[in-house]
Structure 1
Amino acid sequence: MRLHDVCSAATATAAMTVVLVAGAPAAQARQCTPPPLPGKVVEVKLTDRASGPMGLTVTPAKVPGGTVSFRASNTGTLVHELVVLSLADGQAVGKQPVGSDARVSETGMLGEASRDCGGGEGDGIAPGSMGWVTLQLNPGRYELLCNFPGHYASGMHAPFEVTK
């Protein structure tokens, strides 16, 4: 069971705080160095602060199509993940419907970085740590997001574009 599946929609923020305070293994900072990543490398900072908004910073925010590697660094205080979704024509970033579980649908997900100090899917990236994923992306518009309960609605999403 993934850490974020434990939290209910109504108590997502409180439950995540309790998990962090309780010192769950996934919440322990762990320094790691990713292997050389293929293609264009995109840096994504996953941020949350008690004094400011949650968010994702993406550098660069636009790359040519082909092999793209995302290196997701958790600079916040909570466990996070990076999910890559494609956007339909006319669909705006930050407008995905949020379900009763305080998450957006991951139908059509292209990939995610949620393994602490590793590539691909896992239980989340601990504060101070990183995860990564490499994808083949065609030209188009994408949304990068953290899909832990309540994080998307709190602003953890960003646009990403792949050009020809």
Structure 2
Amino acid sequence: MSAPTSRPPLGRRGLLTGAAAVVLLAAGSTMAVAGASGAFGSQHRGRDASCAAPTLPGAKVSVRLVDMRSMTTRGGMMGGSGGMMRQGDWRNFYRGMMRVLASPTSVRAGTVSLTVTNTGYLAHELVVLPLAAGQQPGARSVGAGGTVDEAGRLGEASASCAAGHGDGITAGATGWMSLHLPAGRYELVCNLPGHYAAGMFTTLEVA
């Protein structure tokens, strides 16, 4: 008959079991908090580029760039992945899927600063183009590449968390520009492929 196995007293066993449970619970809580904050997920990392524009001179215009990633096209859901819009699928974009929203829509002539925030899911930009007398916003001819002619361009905000030109304002980020605008009518457009035709334009009146 084998010798009985030595065991710690019951009180000590209970204490050890309780300590192990506390460690496991703490680890589980840490994982849960980290998961909820996105530490273990990459699906939202592209939207973490938020930034604020510095104090800018002159009249201030706040611009929001908007798109809708889950919409149906004439042939069904876009992108083949839950209806998500993708930057390269611009031929599937249709009028009304995207917007440029400016506030205010009229300012005094002189120095004008535009703060441009991308609240959509795709990268966007903002280009300032003059409008001729009688010309309506959204009426520019769209070329084979899905863009419009930028002749006479007065300024551009296409950098994330910076002023001026860049590779596009990423989702959740802000870009900005300051320029001198004489009295007239101007069209604010996103000229990435397909975006103008999808509705990314608005008018700014300068008096």
Letter in 1 for 2:206: V
Which of the two has higher C-alpha Rg?
2
SS in 2 for 1:160: strand
Cα distance in 2 for residues equivalent to 1:29 and 1:136: 32
Deviations 1:14-69 (A, max 9, x none): xxxxxxxxx9x9x5530212111000110000000124621011000000000000
Q: Which has the higher contact order (CA 8 A, sep 6+)?
A: 1
TM-score by length of 2: 0.65
| Mapping of residues 129-148 of structure 1, within 5 Å | 129-148=173-192
Structure 2 counterpart of 1:3:
none
Question: Is there any run of 5+ residues in structure 1 with no aligned partner, and where?
Answer: 1-22
Query: Residue type matched to 2:48 in 1?
Result: A
Distance 1:33 1:56 in 2: 19
Letter in 1 for 2:111: T
Partner of 1:44: 63
**What letter is aligned with 1:151?**
H
- 1:13-162 alignment runs, 5 A limit: 27=46, 29-51=48-70, 53-162=97-206
Structure 2, unaligned runs of 5 or more = 1-42, 72-96
Normalised to the residue count of structure 1, the TM-score between the two structures is: 0.81
User: Cα RMSD over matched residues?
Assistant: 1.7
Whole-angstrom distance in 2 between the partners of 1:145 and 1:51: 22
Aligned to 1:13: none
SS of 2:101's equivalent?
strand
Higher strand share: 1
User: After the TM superposition, which parts of structure 1 deviate over 4 Å for at least 4 consecutive aligned residues?
Assistant: none
